[in-house]
Structure 1
Amino acid sequence: MRWNDMRQSDNVEDRRSGGGGLPIGGLSIGGMVVVAVISLLLGQNPLEILGLMQSASQHPTNQAAQPRTQPTNDEGKRFVSAILGDTEDTWDHLFKQAGSHYERPTLVLFRDAVSSACGRASSAVGPFYCPGDKKVYLDLGFFDELQRRFAAPGDFAQAYVIAHEVGHHIQNLMGVSGQVHRKQQALGKKAANALSVQLELQADCLAGVWGHYAQQRKLLDPGDMAEALTAAHAIGDDTLQRNATGHVVPDAFTHGSSEQRMYWFKRGFEAGDMRRCDTFSAAKG
């Protein structure tokens, strides 16, 4: 994709140098796969799993984190800033069309671990959005994992990940996330997981809507769509479960199957209309 032609956002907060600290529970970026699978099998949010792991640690380590310098304008940061800037341009336009104002999120770059309004989290949870402070959190090491562990290389695959988290921000602005979380409190695990899947698939669809307009602006290259679909397939719940345990437990899905994730991203990409992203009504049909 032609990300160098995109406007770079000023809403990127770089916390990588000097002190994200040691990974929670000693987890490296590679530990995200273990946490993801455990949370998937238990039907829990990865942040909840890591919170329990942090609480269980009785003796904090005495080892001091070594400060690591990071260029202030390295290629990874420029890439993230460009993708975020392009999502801002898209959603500014679409919200204005709908008679509303798009409140732009901040994207926080970190390494190993980070504090947010949603608590302290390790890189092992992967990229995440915190509705409490309206920020997207990303350790760039996840992109290495996306290519190496999940066999989903390419810049548009990485852009899809960012656009998906921005999709959660849009859900937050529209009140969808809050409604879902309130409903989940009164439901059993299976029904709550089903709502979580619908929320995640809608974020995939919203990411596809952004991709639609990036294509209209001639910012995509041949093969970019295939990169995003490969990533969506690789991080589908059934694929993760099958690769980890050899079997699939649909009731434990929290993000959707590979087929579902590919379908909803492609639906948003082809339609370019967020009204086509009503995964909740589709689930009732």
Structure 2
Amino acid sequence: MAATRDWVPAGVDTSSPNVARIYDYWLGGNHNFETDRSTADRLEQTLPWIRQSVRLNRAFLGRAVRYMLAQGIRQFLDLGAGIPTVGNVHEIAQREVPEARVVYVDKDAVAIAHSELLLAGNDRTAVLHTDVRDVAGVLNSSEVRRLIDFSEPVGLLCMLLLHWIPDGDDPAGLVRAYQEPLAPGSLMAFTHINSDAHQESFAVASDQMARRRGDVPYPRSHDQVLGLLGNLALDEPGLVGCGSWRPAGPTDIAEDPSWNELIYAGVARKS
């Protein structure tokens, strides 16, 4: 897709692959560049199940949002939200509860530009162009202050986010910092690629991303992912493969059973 299109924000590097745009490509979106598509295709040669896993992750997002709505949550903070595609948080939430409020946070300028276009005229949603590691910048932003009432439960979403945070940046501390201001009854839904399977393939894929100047993921084991949650308690069925978390129909599950377990998923509760 040509970098001269009107939708490409000024200053966007179209020569290096971007995680949000690769994700958009795998989901069938149009907001990606040649470097994103070629990187995605090479990664798929190494990880032939990755496209299906990304779609399972998207299906889990929908189930998690509907689960939160059923628990009475009416406001959502989506960290590392990525580029808008079908099945966004506000689409799911406001379809069932029109007064639901959503703030999207992402550091990618393309994701932000398209979020702003998508959300124009929707005063119950907002988008924030900030790195999620700037916790104070997110929580104290005008967008969050306008739409999120921290005296009421919040639905915090971290879809395929935490494995981009290296141990040196203290991902457990990041989770704790976002949870501290939330009211009891708040829920955090998250997914995380795991290191309990396909370790060699993930190592090759990470090397490919590094050579193309892209971000490098940090897969973690089941115990390591649990360690990121601190004192949060997991709702049933706990930390499981993405396709195994309360599937509602055949589209929530991959035909190959092993693919359902390649991304860990869970919903954790603040008591």
Q: Same fold (TM over 0.5)?
A: no
| TM-score between the two structures when normalised by the length of structure 1 | 0.26
| TM-score between the two structures when normalised by the length of structure 2 | 0.27
- Whose helix fraction is larger, Structure 1's or Structure 2's? 1
